[in-house]
C-alpha cells in the first residue's frame, strides 16, 4: 500500500467535531475533536477524567454522542453499535483486551468471519494459516492453535491487533496499551504500530508516558476537563508545553503536600510473601508519612496491601503494627490493630451502593455505636453528619443511597468510613481513580491533613504525578518483588518507571 503524505490535502479517515456526551448530570465530554489521517500515529493526551475514554467509546460505537459529528472519509456517520464502528473500519485495542479464553487464538481473531470451505463449513487449516500470516506480518510468533487463556497482556494485545487487521480496520485506537507492558514488549508493540502506519492505517494512541508519544506519534491532541485543548505536530511541542496544556494549572496546587518529620514506625513488613503474587517484601511506614507503592499493573501492589490487611493470607513473613505482630489472614485483627483499608474498587469493595450514605460511613464503626447490642440510629446519623462536614461531602441527603454520589464523593464516604475509626495506618489503593480533577485535589488535601495528624499512609497508585506529588517515599514493585525504594528527592518519573519495568534492579539503597 502506498503511504500518502499526511497534510492538508489528504482527508482524514476519521474525524470527530465538537462531540459532546453527558451521563446523567456528569458532562464527561464537552468538546471532543480529533482528526485521524492515514499513515499517522496520533497521540491523545490528557489527565484521567479529561474525557479520553468517553471519546474512545463514542468512536467505538459503544456510546452514541449527544451532539457534534463523527465523520468517516468525510461523511457524517452515526454508529448503531460496536459492530457498526467495526464495519466502518474502526477497531479499539483496549488496555486489557477482552478475548475469549476458551477459544483458540485463531478463532479469537476470526470469530464471526472464519474462512469457509464447501458447505459454509469453517476451514480450520486456512484459518490457522491466515493467523500465522498475520503474526508474521506483525513480526511476532504466537501459536494460533493454542487457547487464548493464559496469554500475556502483551500477546493479547497483539491478538487484538491481528483481529482488527483481519476485520480490515483502517483506524486503530489503542487505549493505554503500554500500561502493563515491559519495555521489550513496548518496543515490539511500537514495531507493530510502525507496520500498521506503513500499511496506511491511522492510529490513535493514548498513553500517559510522554517519551512513548514522542517516540511513535506524529500528531498530538491534548484534552482537559472534557474539552479539546490543542492539536499540533509533535515536532512543534516540548514536554513542558504538553504538560502545561494537560494540567492547565500549577502542579503544586494539585498536590498539596506538607513535608513533615516522620515519627515512630507504625507498620513494619518483614519478608512478606504470597505464592504466585509477591515475595520477600520488607518495608516500614512511619507515623506522619505517606509511602507510595508504585509498579505496573500486575506487579503485586494490591496483593501486598490485601495481605497486610488480611484479606488474602500471606504464606511467609510478618506484619507488625505499633510493635505488635498481626495475625495473618484476619481483617478483623487488622482493624482491631488500627488499620483502615480503602480498596481500589469503590463500587464493588468500598461501598454498599444501595445503602444510605450515613450507614455506609458508620459501617466500620458499628461496634462503637451500639448500646445493649443494638445499633443506635441517632449515633449513626451524628457520626455521618460529623464526617460529611469534615470531608466537605457534596450530597443531597445523607439518607440517599451511596450510588447517587459522584465518584469523588463516593471516595470521600469510603475515607470517612475508615477515618471514623481513627486508624493508625490507612492503606489506600488508587485514591483518585475515576475522580474528577477538582475532587482529586480535595482527596489529596485530606490525605495531607491526615498525615500531619500523625496517621501513617500506605498509598497504591498508578498515577505517577500522584505518587511524586504526595509520597514521602516510593516503593517500586516489579513482578512481585521490591525493585527499589526511592526517597522523595530521588523519585522522578524516569527512576520509578525504570524500576517498575525491571531495568535498574540493584539501585535500591
Partner 1 sequence: MTAVGPAPAPAPAPASGAATEAPRRMLERVSRARELGIVAAIVIVFLVTTGKNSAFAHGESVQQLLAGTCLIALLGAGETLVIVTRNVDLSVGSVLGLSAYVVGDLFAHHQEMPQVAAYGVGIGIGLVCGAVNGLVTTVFRVPSLVVTLAALYVVRGIDALIVNGKQVDPASIPHGFQELGSAAVFHIPWLAVFVAVIIGVIGYAMRSFRPARDLYAIGSNPDAAALAGIPTGRRVFTAFLISGGLAGLGGVLFLSEFATVASTAGSGYEFLVIAAVVVGGVAIFGGSGTVLGAALGALLLNTINQALVAAQVSAFWNQAIAGFLLLAAIAFDRFLALRVNRALRSAERGAS
Give the binding site for partner 1 (CB under 8 A): 81-83, 86-87, 98-103, 107, 111-114, 116, 120-122, 140-143, 145-147, 149-152, 154-155, 158, 182-185, 188, 280, 282-283, 479, 481-483, 485, 502-509
Residue partners of 290: CB distance under 8 A and separation at least 6? 447, 451, 457, 459, 470, 471, 472
Give me 19's grid cell: 462531540
With CA atoms as reference, report the closest residue to 459 among 282, 290, 262: 290
Give me 14's grid cell: 476519521
**Residue 285 or 482 with smaller CB distance to partner 1:** 482
Residue partners of 125: CB distance under 8 A and separation at least 6? none
Report, in Å, the least distance between residue 108 CB and partner 1: 8
CA 157 centroid distance within chain:
16
Report which DSSP code applies to 366: G
Give me 233's grid cell: 505536530
**Residue 200 or 502 with smaller CB distance to partner 1:** 502
| 3-state per-residue secondary structure call for 466-507 | HHHHHCCEEEEEECCEEEEEEECCCCCHHHHHHHHCCCCCCC
Report, in Å, the least distance between residue 69 CB and partner 1: 23
Q: Do 452 and 483 contact (CB within 8 A), yes or no?
A: no
Report, in Å, the least distance between residue 453 CB and partner 1: 27
Give dist(CA 137, CA 142) in Å, integer: 12
Report, in Å, the least distance between residue 127 CB and partner 1: 10
**Residue 152 or 218 with smaller CB distance to partner 1:** 152
**Residue 258 or 487 with smaller CB distance to partner 1:** 487
**Residue 3 or 116 with smaller CB distance to partner 1:** 116
**Residue 314 or 365 with smaller CB distance to partner 1:** 314
| 3-state per-residue secondary structure call for 28-51 | EEEEEEEEECCCCEEEEECCCCCC
Report, in Å, the least distance between residue 101 CB and partner 1: 6
Report, in Å, the least distance between residue 235 CB and partner 1: 29
Report, in Å, the least distance between residue 344 CB and partner 1: 20
CB atoms inside a 10 Å sphere around CB 424: 18
Q: Do 333 and 309 contact (CB within 8 A), yes or no?
A: no
Strand, coil or helix: 209: coil
**Residue 107 or 442 with smaller CB distance to partner 1:** 107
Report, in Å, the least distance between residue 104 CB and partner 1: 8
Give dist(CA 67, CA 165) in Å, integer: 30
- For residue 278, the cross-strand partners are 274
**Residue 112 or 323 with smaller CB distance to partner 1:** 112
Amino acid at each position: 500500500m502506498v503511504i500518502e503524505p499526511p497534510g492538508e490535502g489528504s482527508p482524514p479517515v476519521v474525524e470527530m467535531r465538537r462531540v459532546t456526551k453527558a451521563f446523567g448530570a456528569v458532562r464527561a465530554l464537552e468538546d471532543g475533536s480529533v482528526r485521524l489521517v492515514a499513515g499517522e500515529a496520533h497521540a491523545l493526551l490528557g489527565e484521567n477524567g479529561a474525557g479520553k475514554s468517553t471519546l474512545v467509546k463514542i468512536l467505538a460505537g459503544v456510546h452514541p454522542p449527544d451532539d457534534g459529528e463523527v465523520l468517516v472519509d468525510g461523511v457524517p456517520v452515526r454508529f448503531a453499535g460496536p459492530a457498526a464502528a467495526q464495519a466502518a473500519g474502526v477497531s479499539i485495542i483496549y488496555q486489557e483486551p477482552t478475548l475469549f479464553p476458551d477459544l483458540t487464538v485463531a478463532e479469537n481473531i476470526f470469530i464471526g468471519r472464519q474462512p469457509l470451505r464447501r458447505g459454509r463449513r469453517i476451514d480450520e487449516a486456512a484459518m490457522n494459516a491466515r493467523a500465522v500470516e498475520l503474526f508474521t506480518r506483525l513480526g511476532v510468533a504466537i501459536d494460533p492453535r493454542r487457547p487464548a487463556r493464559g496469554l500475556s497482556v502483551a500477546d493479547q494485545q497483539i491478538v487484538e491487533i491481528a483481529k482488527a487487521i483481519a476485520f480490515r480496520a483502517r483506524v486503530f485506537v489503542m487505549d493505554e496499551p503500554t500500561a502493563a507492558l515491559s519495555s521489550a514488549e513496548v518496543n515490539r508493540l511500537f514495531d507493530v504500530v510502525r507496520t500498521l502506519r506503513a500499511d496506511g492505517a491511522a492510529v490513535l494512541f493514548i498513553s500517559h508516558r510522554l517519551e512513548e508519544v514522542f517516540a511513535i506519534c506524529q500528531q498530538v491532541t491534548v484534552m482537559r476537563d472534557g474539552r479539546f485543548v490543542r492539536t499540533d505536530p509533535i515536532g512543534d511541542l516540548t514536554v513542558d508545553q504538553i504538560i502545561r496544556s494537560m494540567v492547565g494549572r500549577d502542579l503544586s496546587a494539585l498536590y498539596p503536600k506538607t513535608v513533615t518529620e516522620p515519627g515512630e514506625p507504625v507498620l513494619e513488613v518483614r519478608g512478606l510473601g504470597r505464592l504466585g503474587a509477591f515475595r520477600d517484601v520488607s518495608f516500614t511506614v512511619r507515623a506522619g508519612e505517606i509511602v507510595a507503592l508504585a509498579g505496573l499493573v500486575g506487579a503485586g501492589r494490591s496483593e501486598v496491601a490485601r495481605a497486610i490487611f488480611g484479606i488474602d493470607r500471606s504464606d511467609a513473613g510478618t506484619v507488625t503494627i505499633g510493635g505488635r505482630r498481626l495475625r495473618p489472614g484476619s481483617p478483623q485483627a487488622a482493624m482491631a490493630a488500627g488499620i483502615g483499608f480503602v480498596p481500589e474498587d469503590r463500587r464493588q469493595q468500598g461501598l454498599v451502593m444501595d445503602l444510605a450514605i450515613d450507614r455506609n460511613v458508620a459501617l466500620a464503626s458499628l461496634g462503637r455505636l451500639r448500646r445493649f447490642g443494638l445499633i443506635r440510629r441517632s449515633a449513626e446519623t451524628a457520626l455521618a453528619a460529623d464526617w460529611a462536614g469534615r470531608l466537605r461531602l457534596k450530597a443531597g441527603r445523607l439518607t440517599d443511597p451511596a450510588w447517587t454520589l459522584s465518584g469523588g464523593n463516593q471516595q470521600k464516604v469510603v475515607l470517612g468510613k475508615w477515618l471514623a475509626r481513627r486508624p493508625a495506618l490507612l492503606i489506600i489503593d488508587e485514591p483518585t481513580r475515576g475522580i474528577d480533577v477538582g475532587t482529586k485535589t480535595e482527596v489529596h488535601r485530606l490525605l495531607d491533613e491526615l498525615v500531619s495528624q500523625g496517621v501513617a499512609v500506605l498509598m497504591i497508585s498508578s498515577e505517577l504525578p500522584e505518587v511524586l506529588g504526595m509520597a514521602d517515599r516510593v516503593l517500586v514493585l516489579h513482578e512481585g518483588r521490591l525493585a527499589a525504594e526511592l526517597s522523595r528527592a530521588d523519585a522522578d518519573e524516569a527512576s520509578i518507571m525504570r524500576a517498575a519495568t525491571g531495568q535498574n534492579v540493584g539501585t535500591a539503597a
